[in-house]
Structures are given as structure tokens and as C-alpha cells.
Amino acid sequence: MNALYSLLFVFLLVFIPLFGVGLGHLNTIFGVCIPMTAFVIFILGFAYRIFKWGKSPVPFSIPTTGGQQYAYDPETFKQSKWDNPTNGFQTFVRMALEILTFRSLFRNSSASLHEVKGEPVVAYASAKWLWLFALLFHYSFLVIVIRHLRLFLEPIPFFVNGAEFMDGILQIGAPVLYQSDLLIIAGLLFLLFRRLADAKLRYISLVNDYFPLFLIIGIAASGIYMRYYAKVDVIAIKELTMGLATFNFHVPANIDVSFYVHVFLVSVLLAYFPFSKLMHLGGVFLSPTRNMPNDSRIRHHVNPWNDPNIKPHSYEAYEKDFGPMMAEAGLPLDNPENAKGTEEA
Ligand code: HEM
């Protein structure tokens, strides 16, 4: 049901610009006002979320680890540097590997229940498909976003031309097929069917899991339709998009309605982004379970905002203070002498 609601919702979203521009001729609203408003919501919302996370207290060293910790006999116990970093450089490499190669997803495993001689047995197996298709989806998305910069920049930077050249290097068809278009759809469909096919995942999947998938499928599909079928007037569109980038708004008349559908869906994505799970884009950098070195046995961590008036109270001192009461209550004492108590106590 959650998947169906999300799909229906995205369908409804497609109809809004179809009617708004196709029938209502509200080109300026859909070409300028809505995208600009969405962009402002995205920037402010994103900044707000980052600011709030940045302000959250992290009083303890809480990195998650997945390998041998640095040991005082490093010859015998070889440290797993990228899974259990102890300094800034190792942590940086760990973060870079995570962000660029999704390293922790590579270790994804699946659990399944089997029956062996009438007994239920849980079996674990390596599951790399999620890693592969997540990587395909994210990199295709990145390449597409980089290529789209040609709509907003003049002159077009070399890396945008380079991405475009590499992406169409197979020279299939006219207009040339971008590999990223195929790969993003493959990635998205896998991520969607993975949720639908696995009963365990289906059970925990919410509208907020399906909606971004359908929305991005809608964005990619409308983009593909524009490029390969409608063959939209990219010169006119660039006039509009350069107007957005320079605040010199201008809406040419001859732009196909599919462009407005594409941009409307992108606007919804931008406005939804800061309030959704998609914020992992910014959050991954601020995750204390990832961005801290695991050095709590090497360095003494002191909570920076400890009240200096509250002095630390060791267990040794505590036992001295409360020894007689503890002895009376039958509690064990490290030092039996404390049962007598000090004069002050
Ligand atoms: C989340 C952001 C976006 C995604 C994922 C996306 C995705 C796509 C995809 C997959 C295509 C198919 C062809 C290609 O890959 O270039 C496309 C084409 C296109 N997109 Fe986007 N798009 C996004 C944002 C935008 C924005 C903000 C605009 C303009 C305001 C835009 C304008 C266009 C145009 C004009 C085309 C047709 C290009 C051509 O014919 O070569 N897109 N988009």
C-alpha cells in the first residue's frame, strides 16, 4: 500500500504542471516561481539541518568499528586501519572510502531462515547487489547533475564537457545515448524492486522510502522523454535556465510542457529533500559513529562542557565516604578497611 500511495502521489504531481502549463499557461509560475521557491527551501532547509546536527553535543567517543583495534603489540595484532582508525588521517581515509565507494554496504549480508532436519536454521550470506546498484544509482545521479550544469553556466566548464563526452562515448544513436541515463534507471528499479520483493524489507518500508524512489524515477523518465522523444528546444530552455541562474528571469514561449513536468518534479524533490532521509547526503559527514577516531584507550576524553565546580569522584573515594553504610547494607567493599569509615564520613 505504501508503494501504491507513493506512486499515485507522483502521478498526481505530474498532472499539476500538465494542467498548469498545458491548460492554464502558467509558464512563469512553473518555470520561475516554483523552481526558485523550491531552491530557497532546499538551501535554507539543508543549512538548518546541518547547523542543528553541528550543534548537537557529542560528549563521548562513539565510533562504530569493524576490525582489529590498535593494540600495544601491533606486530601480533595487526590493526585494521580503515575499519578501526586511531588518528585523523586514518579516519579521513575511512570516511573517503565510505563516501566514495560505500565500503560499509560492501559488507552487507542477508539472513535467511532454512529448515535442516526439521529444525529452523538461520543462514547468512554475502549480498553485494545492494552495494553495486546503490553505487550505480548515486554515480549516475552525480554525472547527470554535473552534465546539467551546462544549462546554468556560460562558458561551459571543461569538466562538464568532459563528463558529457565520457558519458556518451559509446556513440549509440542520435541524440547520443548517455550511459548514465540507462544506469540511473537500472539502479532505481533495483532499489525499488528490492523493497518490494523482500517481505522483511516490505514490512519496514514506509511512504517516505518509496516516494523519493518514484519521484526520482519520474524525474529521470521525464528527462529521458525530453531528450530522446520530445527532442525539446534546448536553446530556449537554456535561455530560461540562464535567467534562473542570473536572476534575470525570462520564459521563452516555445518550450515543451514535458520540460515543466521535469522541473516541477525536481522542485518537489528540492523542497522535500531537507526534511527527508535524503539528508544522508549531508548527514554522512557529521555522523560521530564514522567521523571520530577510535582512540578512547589511547587518549583520555574529557567532556568539554563539564562543570568545573563538580569535581570528579573516583570509586575509591566513594567507597571511603560510604564504606560504613555499604558494609551495613552487606555490599562488598574493595578495601575492607573502608567499613570502619574515615573521621569525616
Ligand atoms: C535532481 C535533478 C535532476 C535530475 C536527476 C535530472 C535528470 C535528467 C535526466 C536523466 C535527463 C535525460 C538526459 C540526460 O541525462 O541529460 C534529463 C534531461 C534534461 N533535464 Fe534534467 N534532471 C534534473 C534537474 C534538472 C533541472 C533543474 C533542469 C532545468 C531547470 C533540467 C533540465 C533538463 C533538460 C532541459 C533536459 C533535456 C536535455 C537534452 O535534451 O539534452 N533538469 N534530466
Number of domains in the chain: 2
How many whole angstroms separate alpha carbon 244 and alpha carbon 270? 15
Whether the predicted pLDDT of 344 surpasses 60: no
Out of 189, 262, 267, give the residue to mutate to test ligand 1, the one with the largest number of ligand atoms within 8 Å of its CB: 262
* Residue 117 main-chain phi, psi, to 5 deg: 50, 45
Find the domain containing 334 and state its range.
313-345
CA nearest ligand 1 atom 26, residue: 263
Residues 195 and 323 in one domain: no
The residue among 255, 272, 289 that closes a domain is: 272
Q: How far is the CA of 131 from the centre of ligand 1 (A)?
A: 25
CA nearest ligand 1 atom 11, residue: 223
Residues 263 and 327 in one domain: no
Ligand 1 atom, smallest distance to 220 CA = 10
CA nearest ligand 1 atom 43, residue: 223
Q: What is the mean pLDDT of residues 11-21?
A: 94
Q: How far is the CA of 218 from the centre of ligand 1 (A)?
A: 11
Determine, yes or no, domain membership for 241: yes
The residue among 245, 272, 299 that closes a domain is: 272
Q: What is the mean pLDDT of residues 126-145?
A: 95
Determine, yes or no, domain membership for 45: yes
Determine, yes or no, domain membership for 302: no
pLDDT tens, 139-149? 999 999 999 99
Q: What is the mean pLDDT of residues 303-329?
A: 89
Residues 47 and 110 in one domain: yes
Residues 215 and 156 in one domain: yes
Residues 338 and 247 in one domain: no
Out of 10, 30, 136, 144, give the residue to mutate to test ligand 1, the one with the largest number of ligand atoms within 8 Å of its CB: 144
Mean pLDDT over each residue of the chain, to the nearest integer? 92
Asked if 194 contacts 201 with a C-beta cutoff of 8 angstroms, the reply is: yes
CA nearest ligand 1 atom 20, residue: 223
Determine, yes or no, domain membership for 145: yes
Q: Which residues line ligand 1 (CB under 6 A)?
A: 141, 144-145, 147-148, 151, 178, 180-181, 184, 219-220, 223-224, 226-227, 232, 234, 237, 241, 259, 262-263, 266, 269
Kind plus residue range of the DSSP H or E element containing 162: helix 158-167
Q: What percent of the chain has pLDDT over 70?
A: 99
The residue among 272, 296, 327 that closes a domain is: 272
Determine, yes or no, domain membership for 317: yes
Amino acid identity at 184: I
Question: From the centroid of its chain, how far is CA 270?
Answer: 14
Q: What are the CA-CA distances from residue 7 to residues 99, 110, 198, 212, 319 (Å)?
A: 29, 27, 19, 10, 64
Residue-level pLDDT at 58: 86
Residues 227 and 176 in one domain: yes
Asked if 111 contacts 140 with a C-beta cutoff of 8 angstroms, the reply is: no
Determine, yes or no, domain membership for 303: no
Residue-level pLDDT at 345: 46
Residues 196 and 47 in one domain: yes
Q: Domain holding 191: CATH number? A: 1.20.950.20
Residues 116 and 209 in one domain: yes
Ligand 1 atom, smallest distance to 151 CA = 29
Whether the predicted pLDDT of 214 surpasses 60: yes
Q: How far is the CA of 96 from the centre of ligand 1 (A)?
A: 28
Cα atoms in the 13 Å half-sphere on the side-chain side of 1: 1
CA nearest ligand 1 atom 34, residue: 223
Residues 334 and 245 in one domain: no
Determine, yes or no, domain membership for 192: yes
Cα atoms in the 13 Å half-sphere on the side-chain side of 314: 4
For residue 206, how many other CB atoms are within 10 A of its CB?
A: 11
Ligand 1 atom, smallest distance to 241 CA = 30
Out of 28, 180, 226, give the residue to mutate to test ligand 1, the one with the largest number of ligand atoms within 8 Å of its CB: 226
Q: How far is the CA of 330 from the centre of ligand 1 (A)?
A: 74
Ligand 1 atom, smallest distance to 240 CA = 30
CA nearest ligand 1 atom 40, residue: 227
Q: Using CB atoms within 10 Å of the CB of residue 129, give its burial: 0 to 12 exposed, 13 to 18 middle, 19+ buried.
A: exposed
Q: How far is the CA of 138 from the centre of ligand 1 (A)?
A: 15
pLDDT tens, 220-276? 999 999 999 999 999 999 999 999 999 999 899 889 999 999 999 999 999 999 999
Q: How far is the CA of 232 from the centre of ligand 1 (A)?
A: 11
Binned at pLDDT 50, 70 and 90, residue 138 comes out as very high
Residue-level pLDDT at 312: 83
Residues 328 and 235 in one domain: no
Determine, yes or no, domain membership for 85: no
Residues 187 and 45 in one domain: yes
Residues 122 and 253 in one domain: yes
Residue-level pLDDT at 127: 86
How many whole angstroms separate alpha carbon 4 and alpha carbon 261? 21
